[in-house]
Structure 1
Amino acid sequence: MGYDTVAAIATPLGSGGIGIIRISGKEALGITQAIFRPSCRKIFDPYPSHRFFHGWIRDPKSGMILDEVLMVYMQAPRSYTREDVAEIHTHSGPAALRSTLDLVLSRGARLADPGEFTKRAFLNGRIDLSQAEAVIDIVNAKTLVSLEIAAAQIHGGLRKKIETCRFALWELQTELSAAIDFPEEMETLFKAETAADRLKGQILSPLQELIKQHDQGRILREGIRVVVAGFPNVGKSSLMNCLLHRDRAIVSPYPGTTRDFLEEPLDLYGLQAMIVDTAGLQETDDPVERIGIEKTHEKIREADLLLFMVDVTQPIFIQKETIPVFEKPTILVVNKVDRVNSDRFPEIPKEWKRFPVVRISALTQYGVDALKEKIFERITQGKGFRQEDPIVPNLRQKLLLDRALKATEAALEGISYGRSPELVSMDVEEALDALNEILGETIRPDILDAIFSRFCIGK
């Protein structure tokens, strides 16, 4: 497939060791040769593929040397885009990168659109759409678990499962087509009972499992929101600092120090978590503090898990009044246990006994590791996560799986009720269309553009 030649900076801008200019298209090597002067005396025409060459970037007009670089040429189709690709590895200073890119563009290349290199890899058949989506997931992965999910996807994990279902549907469609073309031999060509069993075992069950893995694994892909709430001055900000291992939130002995919420990411045993510190819950006439409390309630509604903190040195019945409104997965965090003898811990109110309890001291960090373990357990319990099979479809893919499942169920119902092969075939075709769209074999251009617009320039 022929496209124009595009180029972009493929590494983040800023000072660093190495920056990369990526060029893809039929003019990639010619443009590179015009500005690259190799340090070796041997003349290559063309440069051999997949070998690095040391040299300098030279402005052809002024003759000025701009940077000392490495250059590698990758001949089509053995490249990321399946086109001719050249990469120039410069020093990662903004001036070096931009001036080199300017030279490349001045020789006829076009600045690449966001995600255009990966889009070309998809359009040229190197990867399917589910693998292309996994590229952005790898770029955005902040924990080992989310990286494993994306890596399984880019390795073709979802594609293999989809192709297995598609093959079974194609076989069924072939039998239905034969029954439609030769109705007098329908009983021989199409056996309803066998077809129904295959639909259940080879298509319905795998689709249901993939949908289940999306629902169960959403927090692995997207992360979780853990909100810390409670009465003023119970130690919420101190707990946040403990979990982050740095002083992110202001801590003072005066109630009401936190007027607004703070959010910080946290790697929690491989889970991507967002910890949210909130303003203390209490009745107040202060209009600014009241706004903060309203935001606290908003964050609690958005939470996947609530850490409700109480101060063991203060009367429990006063703090108890703030919790009954919360219908969220909750852990009761009893703080400041270092100030009270264990035999003098107050009785947990019966309304709270449905919540797991963790006793901590945010000051001494006693119990903080136990709390992290309890958070992980509370989030993952009953989820059935299987690390050996980390295929977690994204929302777009899940909606298409739902569509394929619905069509497959309709086909099964049609077979069970003895409907005509033509009607059953329509449902099978609908299921195939949905699965094809997951892999990008049939997809609207506007949806394709929306997917690749999420990418950065250079990827």
Structure 2
Amino acid sequence: MLENDTICAPATQSGGAIGIVRVSGPEAIEIVNSTLSKDIIQAKGGTLHHCEILDNDGIAIDEVVTSVWRAPYSYTGENSVEVSCHGSGYIMQQIVNRLIAVGCRGARPGEFTERAFLSGKMDLSQAEAVADLIASSNKASHKMAISALKGHFSNELFSLREKLLNITTLLELELDFSDHEDIEFADRNTMLKLANEIDRKVVKLTDSFKMGRAIKEGIPVAIVGRTNVGKSTLLNRLLHEERAIVSEVEGTTRDSIEDVVDIKGINFRFIDTAGFRNTTDKIEKIGIERTHRKISEASIIIWLVDDEPTVEEISNMKSLVGERTLLTVLNKIDLIDESRFSHMLKISAKHGLGIDNLEKTLYEAAGIDSITENTIIVTNARHYDALIRSHYALERVRSAIESHLSADLVAEELKDVLYTLGEITGSQITSDETLKNIFSSFCIGK
């Protein structure tokens, strides 16, 4: 339920040139007005007002600009005021304290966006996209968050649910005429075709989660190869810092080392692994076992070599990599005759030769260029879980239709699909605890 009190909180971090304190609720304009040197009670929505904000003794706390927003034309859908002041943490806290003293309540994390959702300004998936937008750290994650915030994902789900609702309505109509067994409003072949079509779209959305999560967390790239082939040197070169220990002693890297770097607006999470070799060292053996696990977790594998791999090594690597992208990269081209290796990417990790081309190849291998603002990619684990359950529910729908079950049983399975898809946008969520759990991850002031 939408709370009817008025809340306030800093909407920006302290320490900058400008700070903003946000106020929202039915008494927002009146409460802020009581602290100002200028009357804004009759101010129109979308207007700015230069004045001072005063303490209880009428002494100026700061010279401010207030922006007035009237319901429903505000972020939250409520009356709102944003107070722009100097970015001092002390000043912002004094303003918040003053507003609380005259009737505001301090906002909980994410409460402004929660109110926007409860007011119908956005659905739940769009509200969660706000948090993703704030957390976006590169071009790709920003693009995905903007797409979700604009409602592209929501619109796709709405379209799917509308088709399901039409069929469910026809089935419910059949139940009203249950005394007439020969009456069938919903053609079963058409229903089965529609269920298959919707399931294909659900599976496509579900499959996109792998890329969505990789873009948010950094596309995992494992650097593998024999010992002393230059894996740690390559990691340091890609990260532009001495992150991994480089030594001529074989087996120096005994555990995986991870770090993230931005390449052309995409975060790549590079993993330097223990080198492949036969060893009796127990610690090094554990490191090599972890290398195998890291390969299974990576989307892209850089196989670093300094000579032509043997047939056995190629076979073993293909078996380890499976369907993942494998880039075979020849290192130390400053020391060897590279003309014999025309089929490989060529670099010198030590001297930085060929690194630009390697980064370009990595970017292309990630397949990011195919993503546009209209591309729908699932990035939220809650959405992924609901889509998985929708897929299983659709399988039950298909089974019910193919088994010629009664209209009421088919309708129940369809309602399960409608419910799970509705969880994503929030149309089926009634639990305050669930909402609080979602919005608690937001920052205060948003």
Task: Provide TM-score, normalisation by structure 2.
Answer: 0.85
Trace 1:356-395 onto structure 2 (pairs within 5 A): 357-380=344-367, 385-387=370-372, 389-393=374-378, 394-395=380-381
Larger CA deviation: 360-369 vs 419-428: 360-369
**Offset of 1:250 from its aligned partner?**
6.0
Q: Which amino acid letter does the alignment assign opposite residue 267 of structure 1? A: D
Instruction: Report the residue type matching 1:150 in the other structure.
Output: A
Q: Are 1:242 and 1:362, in contact at CA under 8 Å, matched by a contact in 2?
A: yes
How do 1:290-301 and structure 2 match up within 5 A?
A: 299-300=294-295
Q: Secondary structure at the match of 2:163?
A: helix
How has the CA–CA distance of structure 1 residues 47 and 225 changed in structure 2, closer, same or farther, with 3 Å as cutoff?
Answer: same
> Matched residues in 2 for 1:284 and 1:209: separation?
44
Partner residue in 1 for 2:116? 121
Alignment of 1:98 with 2:93, yes or no, is yes
Aligned to 1:36: 36
| Deviates further, 63-72 or 272-281 | 272-281
**Residue 249 of structure 1 aligns with which residue?**
243
- Cα-to-partner distance string for 1:364-392 (whole Å, 9 max, x where unaligned): 32221222233234444xx9955364211
1:143 to 130, 138, 145: 138
Tell me the distance in 2 between the aligned counterparts of 1:310 and 1:357.
10
Question: Does structure 1 residue 334 correspond to structure 2 residue 327?
Answer: no
> Which residue number corresponds to residue 449 of structure 1?
436
- Maintained 8 Å contact 2:221/2:300: yes
Aligned to 2:50: 54
Question: Does the alignment pair 1:416 with 2:402?
Answer: yes
SS at match of 1:227: strand
Q: Deviations over 1:170-229 (max 9, x none)?
A: 211111111111124454442434542552465333323322333454433443222334
Q: Pairwise mapping of residues 289-328 of structure 1 onto structure 2 (< 5 A)?
A: 299-300=294-295, 302-311=297-306, 327-328=320-321
Q: Is the Cα–Cα contact under 8 Å of residues 148 and 376 in structure 2 kept in the other structure?
A: yes
Moved more, 122-131 or 210-219: 210-219
State the partner residue of 1:350: none
Aligned to 2:37, the other structure's residue is in SS state strand
Change (3 A) 1:83 1:44: closer
Structure 1 residue 440 corresponds to structure 2 residue 434: no
SS at match of 1:327: helix
Q: Does 1:177 align with 2:176?
A: no
**Match of residue 219, structure 2, among 210, 221, 224:** 224
User: Unpaired runs of 5+ in structure 1?
Assistant: 348-355
Deviation at 1:427, TM superposition (A): 0.9
1:280/1:100 CA distance change after superposition, 3 Å:
farther
Give deviations 1:330-369, integer Å, cap 9, x for gaps: 4333222112233576x9xxxxxxxx84220123322212
Match of 2:230 in 1: 235
CA gap of 1:78–1:426, structure 2 versus 1, over 3 A, is same
Q: 1:379 to 1:265 in 2, by over 3 A?
A: same
One-letter code of the match for 1:428?
L
Distance 1:55 1:295 in 2: 62
SS in 2 for 1:37: coil
* Of 366-375 and 246-255, the range deviating more from structure 2: 246-255
Distance 1:132 1:295 in 2: 38
